Amino acid sequence: MSAVEPVLRTLQILEALNRHAPATLGEIAQATRLPKPTVSRLLLTLEDGGYVVRLPRRAGYDLRERTLRLSAGFRYSDAVVEAARPFLSALTAELKWPVGLATLDRDAMRVRFSTGRESPFAIDENYVNRRVPLLLSALGRAYIAFCAADERDKILELLRESSRETDRMAHDPRAVSRLIQSVRRMGFASAVEYPEAPAHGVAVPVLSANGAIAAITLRYLGRKLPDRDAAQRYLAPLQRTAQAIAASVADQKS
């Protein structure tokens, strides 16, 4: 047995309890496919460490509050990124163009993941971790058009306090309303076009029951693909991918 195997088995037990707690020794062994003696030994270690509690009357085991410390640095947006990775990679393998995912970062969208290195088209090596404007970028427009109404109001309030040129539209409620209605009607968003910018993008939201939780974009070279063709050609695969990501996130939460 390698030195890390007991650690991995312990994590399996914590994951099983996280999904179905309380659980008996037999239920945990079945869920993890580990021998009962192994599960019993590791549960005792977790109990001694304050991560697990043994319930009275043979009711099984449950997690203790200390396990929350293990996820203290993990954000919900991290879970979205992890769920999205395989689907975005598969989309780039299918369409060749790079795709990226962004989540809300207070008054902008922050690019959290990109398949740029997996694409044969070199568009932007420094795309990940970039903050892009909410009202001018495809990612931002897709998010703000489909997020919950109360969240949108708070975002727009922040943008109205901004002195950035990219947020100026927030001071024009009619323009914002037209933008949101247009994006919602079409089901996707595109960026404000800059003739000097080689990369263009089309984006769709990743939706939960309460609204957008992220947005994904497919980026392409305008000189190789006219904008009028991009949405028609790639909207369906983008929406399919967004739905798969949303379903995966929902499964993780259940």
CATH of the domain at 194: 3.30.450.40
Domain C-terminal end among 71, 93, 125: 71
Same domain for 206 and 163 = yes
Q: What percent of the chain has pLDDT over 70?
A: 89
Residue 151, C-beta contacts closer than 8 angstroms, at least 6 positions apart: 211
User: In terms of DSSP H, where are the helices of 161-221?
Assistant: 173-186
pLDDT of residue 196: 55
| CA nearest neighbour of 99 among 88, 87, 86 | 88
Same domain for 236 and 125 = yes
Same domain for 18 and 128 = no
Same domain for 106 and 207 = yes
pLDDT at 194 over 70: no
Give the mean pLDDT of 110-119. 89
pLDDT of residue 102: 96
Domain C-terminal end among 30, 53, 71: 71
pLDDT at 39 over 70: yes
Same domain for 218 and 119 = yes
Mean pLDDT of the chain: 88
CATH at residue 25 = 1.10.10.10
Taking the C-alpha atoms of residue 93 and residue 95, their distance in angstroms, rounded to an integer, is: 6
Same domain for 146 and 133 = yes
Same domain for 119 and 45 = no
Taking the C-alpha atoms of residue 139 and residue 100, their distance in angstroms, rounded to an integer, is: 9
Number of domains in the chain: 2
pLDDT at 73 over 70: no
Residue 220, C-beta contacts closer than 8 angstroms, at least 6 positions apart: 97, 121, 123, 199, 200, 201, 202, 230
Taking the C-alpha atoms of residue 102 and residue 201, their distance in angstroms, rounded to an integer, is: 13
pLDDT of residue 199: 79
Token pair of 230 as six digits: 């991009």
Q: Residue 247's pLDDT band (boundaries 50, 70, 90)?
A: very high
Residue 14, C-beta contacts closer than 8 angstroms, at least 6 positions apart: 46, 51, 63, 67, 70
User: In terms of DSSP H, where are the helices of 96-226?
Assistant: 138-146, 149-160, 173-186
Q: Return the DSSP state at 108.
A: S
- Which domain range does residue 156 map to? 76-253
pLDDT of residue 197: 62
pLDDT of residue 76: 65
Same domain for 16 and 84 = no
Same domain for 129 and 243 = yes
Domain C-terminal end among 71, 90, 108: 71
Token pair of 33 as six digits: 């496919």
Q: Residue 78's pLDDT band (boundaries 50, 70, 90)?
A: confident
pLDDT of residue 129: 85
Q: Residue 232's pLDDT band (boundaries 50, 70, 90)?
A: confident
Same domain for 170 and 227 = yes
pLDDT of residue 18: 80
Give the mean pLDDT of 189-194. 75
Q: Residue 13's pLDDT band (boundaries 50, 70, 90)?
A: very high
Q: Cα–Cα–Cα angle for 110, 111, 115, nearest 5°?
A: 175
Same domain for 220 and 126 = yes
Taking the C-alpha atoms of residue 232 and residue 147, their distance in angstroms, rounded to an integer, is: 24
| CA nearest neighbour of 243 among 216, 223, 225, 221 | 216
Same domain for 104 and 60 = no
Q: Residue 215's pLDDT band (boundaries 50, 70, 90)?
A: very high
